[in-house]
Chain A
Amino acid sequence: MALKQVSSNRCFEGFQKVFEHDSAELKCKMKFGIYLPPKAETGKCPVLYWLSGLTCTEQNFITKAGFQQAAAEHGLIVVAPDTSPRGCNIEGEDESWDFGTGAGFYVDATEEPWKTNYRMYSYIKDELPKLINANFPTDPERMSIFGHSMGGHGALILALKNPGKYKSVSAFAPICNPIQCQWGKKALGGYLGSDVSKWEAYDATQLVKSYAGSPLDILIDQGKDDQFLSAGQLLPDNFIAACTEQKVPVVFRLQQGYDHSYFFIATFINDHIKHHAKYLNA
């Protein structure tokens, strides 16, 4: 697969680059951001995948989160893909901000007209890692995943559905229980149809209940003043209860005064990078 470099900026002695490629899974051109730490010049580095939330592109995280310094320090490659296929000209894709464009929900859609293109789950799980490992100095055995909001949901489900694939997982204000919240019902219904049992495969809370895989160490930060938390879109308590039940170790931090924005992400991103570095560099 040919990669085309879109931009490159030196940052903390490494490089923040953006590439574009033709995605087989999504059948369209996809961009992703990739940060290469200084260590990547001389050796292989572990990879940390970031999944962004609703309405984001590959740009938001790389410009707003301020993660490059910590990534450089710990020698981690950070990949930030887009949140959905673009330019597919599917009818209705731009109708709402929480469904369609910019709202892939990291699922493999089964419903028309989405099922051809909207395969973000497989893209993130298979195609993207393969692409990254083929083109960059990566250590294919060391991979971790984290994300924000819808991306947090994506990170959790990918980790829970693929035990052992990711060394660690963390999330900022994730949508923990989509089958129970408005966003989830809309998206999952739209992509997967009305059979709720099919939704469960993409619901972190549900997946944890039957998780029997390798030990995970999950870190979740949630702004206490997050409007979506109070709106019941995120439902972390359900997830925590399920994890407690299943004895899945989670440290969930409710951060006083913080909201849903990238300002909140920027505040705690270093803790998350350290959390991943502990496992990726072990």
Chain B
Amino acid sequence: MSSRSGSKREYETSDQSTGHSASPPVPESSETEAGGLIFYHMDLYGSKERFDIFPEELSGQGERSLGDTRRESALSSEKFQHSQEAGYDLEKEVAELAKMYGLDEDREKELELLGGHLEVAESRWPPARTEKARSRDQSQSTKLQGLPGEASQDEDESKARAEDEAESPIRSGEGLSSSGISDEWNSQAVSEEEESGDVFCSTCKMPIRAFDKLFGEHKDHEVTKLPSAMESEKEEIHKNMCKLEEQIAQMENFASHLEEIFITVEENFGRQEENFEVHYNDAVQALAQKYEEQLEALGEEKRQKLEALYGQLVSCGEHLDTCKRLTDTTQELYLENDKANFMKAAITMVDRLEEFLKKEVDLELSTVPDFKERVIDFSEVEQLMNSINIIPAPCAPVINPQAPSAATGTSLRVCWSLFSDDTVECYQLCYKPVNNERRSDEQAAPSPPIIKSKKIRSCENAALVCWESGDINPVDSYTVELSKLTDEGNGDIITESIVGIPNCEVLIHLQPTQSYHICVRALNVGGSSERSDPAVIHTTGTYFCLNEDTAHPLLAILDDGFTINLLEHTLLSVSHRCIGILGSLIPFPGKHYWEVEVEEDTEYRIGVAFENTPRHGYLGANNSSWCMRHIITPSRHKYEFLHSGMTPDIRITLPPRRIGILLDYENCRLSLFNADIAQHLYTFNSHFQHYVHPCFALETPGMLRIRIGIAVPPWTALP
């Protein structure tokens, strides 16, 4: 097989005689190769030429050797011979079309291919062509589909004219160049028409003239009408074309797949190489380590031996010294002339000598010169070597940081990710509880936070809890633990926990008419704090607290936190001042109800206000506050329902002692009631664009007691 991509032009010129253009792959020589088999050129990266096969085949008609080619069984060589005889002008037709539609090379080939197969079946070329052209004009997009249709059209036509006209000429050996040689061919085509037959002999597999059937050698043979024979042949060829196309597609896929495999092989190689290197390094390191260890031990041993020997040597030396001294002394003694002195000294000497000689002389070596046998332990290394697997051990997975709400009191959801390169059979999860032991070099876990119980705001469906940090240790996040209190008193079972809270407050959704215990923990790198002291939340009504920061200086808040008192004071000489306080914001949608108990002679303003209401103003005198006002005139109680400084004229005969306030965000209402007799007093209809604060003010000395946590009474339902 020869690879000739990019050498089209060469072939164009060289193959002119055989009518090739732009059909590089198969030179004539290859046609005589391998018993005439022409190999399909398998070019991975430029398979444009593959369609050449057919035109090649067809256009190589000049050579009868084409008949020997065995591409597909259906494409019988005889057919081509016949087609040649029939005078098909395939190339010419396609060239014309190509010219007409400005197709590129590939399309040309395709057309050749299909045109070719049609041509085989067709009998009438020139009229067919014009028809084709016409219908192509009409619907270019369906050109290819159109061809079979057209073919049949043509066939009909051709049937009509079968007798009279010759089949369309095919120019043998015509090239695909779009030069205008069609005229030349046309004339040639005409001349060939006369030779065509009009009946097909199935026995001999050749078209013959009807005349021949009756009177010639084909007398007894099977014949079929040429058109129908054409039809069936056409079908067969078409089928085979399709199969070929399939094959083409398959091979293409396979080729690209192989490419991928190439890359994968490289990758795998790379990984294995790395793997080996790592193992090798490990092994070498282990060896080196062992070697050093042993060497050190050896050295140590030597030192010890030498020390011992040296010690011995020293003691020997000492001993020698002593001996020497004694010898010297004894010798001196002998030189003594005085006999009495000699005797004295001699006796002492003898004693000394005796004593000295009593001492044992250790002539044993304290240590052996030989060293211990040492062997480098290869077992570990062997182990390492043996542990080289095809599959490398996976890298450590990375545990994702804990997501919020991933934990309850008794369970935890852990997520981790792994490296995509790794092959993993299974995971092993290990855990241990972390305690808060203070380690000097680690960050201390925080102390438990302190819930601001008094500041909890809640309603039937939600609660807003805030707390403060227990100490100065840094805190990364807070965890809130909730347990619903039921009759069984299971205040310790945590029913819900919210993790990952960044600030010191949280809004929790709750169920109505329940009680809850809530605790908070603080978390940092050092761990989690102990649980804070629990706070209780009842979802039986709306709870808020009085915001001391907003209190007028002359107003006193009594111990329970919900009674405000204004005492006699010289500064109150100006009548009708508005000395008030705001409650905390009620940030929950829906209905909220609370009550205020008043004395009969208390002059007050009770209502709601936006956060930005002017603190030094009068409640109800602006459009950011609404209130009910009670003042006492000499003749009677006077009630006003103030907003934007305006009030309706309303008389109330029974001064309410317990005022019910219904705040209905949903229905845009603020209603006031005499709660003792369930009497509706007045309703403000106002679309509250923001959440509001309850507000309470006294105009003269007196006291207001606020009651919260009351469920919305049914008689407040203004239908």
Contact = CB atoms under 8 A, between A and B. Distances in A.
Interface string A237-271: 00011011001111111111000000000000000
Contact of A253 (B648, B654, B715): B648
Contact of A247 (B653, B680, B682): B653
B650 A248 contact: no
A21 interface: no
B654 A247 contact: yes
Contacts of A253: 648-650
Contacts of A243: 653-654
B719 interface: yes
B636 A215 contact: no
Contacts of A252: 650-653
A251 B649 CA distance: 10
Given A217-B677, A253-B649, A274 B718 contact: yes
A244 B600 CA distance: 13
Nearest to A74: B719
Given A217-B677, A275-B680, A240 B651 contact: yes
Interface in B623-678: 636-637, 648-654, 674, 677-678
A251 to B, nearest CB: 6
A111 interface: no
A251 B719 contact: no
Nearest to B654: A249
A73 interface: yes
Interface in A84-98: none
A273 to B, nearest CB: 9
Interface string B707-719: 0000000010011
A238 to B, nearest CB: 12
A231 interface: no
B679 A249 contact: yes
Interface string A34-77: 00000000000000000000000000000000000000011000
Nearest to A278: B715
A241 B635 CA distance: 10
Nearest to B676: A249
Contacts of B651: 240, 250-252, 254
B653 A244 contact: yes
Nearest to A217: B679
A163 to B, nearest CB: 15
Contacts of A185: none
Contacts of B681: 251
Nearest to B682: A251
B655 to A, nearest CB: 9
A282 interface: yes
Contacts of B677: 215, 217, 249
Most buried by B among A248, A251, A253: A251
Nearest to A282: B715
A199 to B, nearest CB: 23
A277 interface: yes
A71 to B, nearest CB: 12
B719 A248 contact: no
Contacts of B636: 241, 244
A209 interface: no
Nearest to B677: A249
B687 to A, nearest CB: 19
Contacts of B682: 251
A224 interface: yes
Nearest to A246: B653
Given A217-B677, A251-B681, A240 B653 contact: yes
Interface in A172-220: 215, 217
Indicate the size class of the contact surface on chain A.
20 to 34
Nearest to A281: B719
Interface string B679-719: 11110000000000000000000000000000000010011
B331 to A, nearest CB: 143
Contacts of B653: 240, 243-244, 247-250, 252
Contacts, number: 62
A23 B101 CA distance: 105
Interface in B569-587: none
Nearest to B635: A241
A249 B654 CA distance: 5
Given A217-B677, A244-B636, A275-B680, A251 B650 contact: yes
Nearest to B683: A271
Given A74-B719, A278-B715, A256 B649 contact: yes
A251 B648 contact: no
A243 B654 CA distance: 8
Given A277-B719, A282-B715, A249 B674 contact: yes
Contacts of B680: 251, 275, 278
B637, B654, B674, most chain A CB atoms within 10 A: B654
A74 B717 CA distance: 13
B346 to A, nearest CB: 144
Contacts of A278: 680, 715, 718-719
A224 B649 contact: yes
Contacts of A282: 715
B719 A274 contact: yes
A275 to B, nearest CB: 7
A254 B647 CA distance: 11
B654 A254 contact: no
A278 B679 CA distance: 10
A244 B652 CA distance: 8
Interface in B73-119: none
B679 A251 contact: yes
A144 B682 CA distance: 21
Interface string B142-185: 00000000000000000000000000000000000000000000
B645 to A, nearest CB: 15
B337 to A, nearest CB: 154
A250 B719 contact: no
Nearest to B639: A251
Residue of B637, B674, B679 with most partner-chain A CB within 10 A: B679
A248 B649 contact: no
A123 to B, nearest CB: 30
A214 to B, nearest CB: 12
B652 to A, nearest CB: 6
Contacts of A241: 636
B682 to A, nearest CB: 8
Contacts of A251: 650-652, 679-682
Contacts of B719: 73-74, 274, 277-278, 281
Interface in A71-128: 73-74
A73 B542 CA distance: 30
Contacts of A250: 651-654
Nearest to B715: A278
A275 B715 CA distance: 11
A255 B652 CA distance: 15
A209 to B, nearest CB: 13
A221 to B, nearest CB: 10
Contacts of A247: 653-654
A242 to B, nearest CB: 9
B439 to A, nearest CB: 68
Contacts of A255: 648-649
A248 to B, nearest CB: 6
A247 B637 CA distance: 13
A160 to B, nearest CB: 14
Contacts of A244: 636-637, 653-654
- Point out which of A215, A247, A248, A278 has the most chain B C-beta atoms below 10 A from its C-beta: A278
Contacts of A73: 719
Contacts of B649: 224, 253-256
Contacts of A74: 719
9 contacts: A73-B719, A217-B678, A243-B654, A244-B654, A248-B653, A252-B653, A255-B648, A277-B719, A278-B715
Given A251-B679, A251-B680, 9 more contacts: A240-B651, A243-B653, A244-B653, A249-B654, A249-B677, A251-B652, A252-B652, A275-B680, A278-B718
Shortest beta-carbon contacts, A-B, top 3: A254-B649, A243-B653, A252-B651
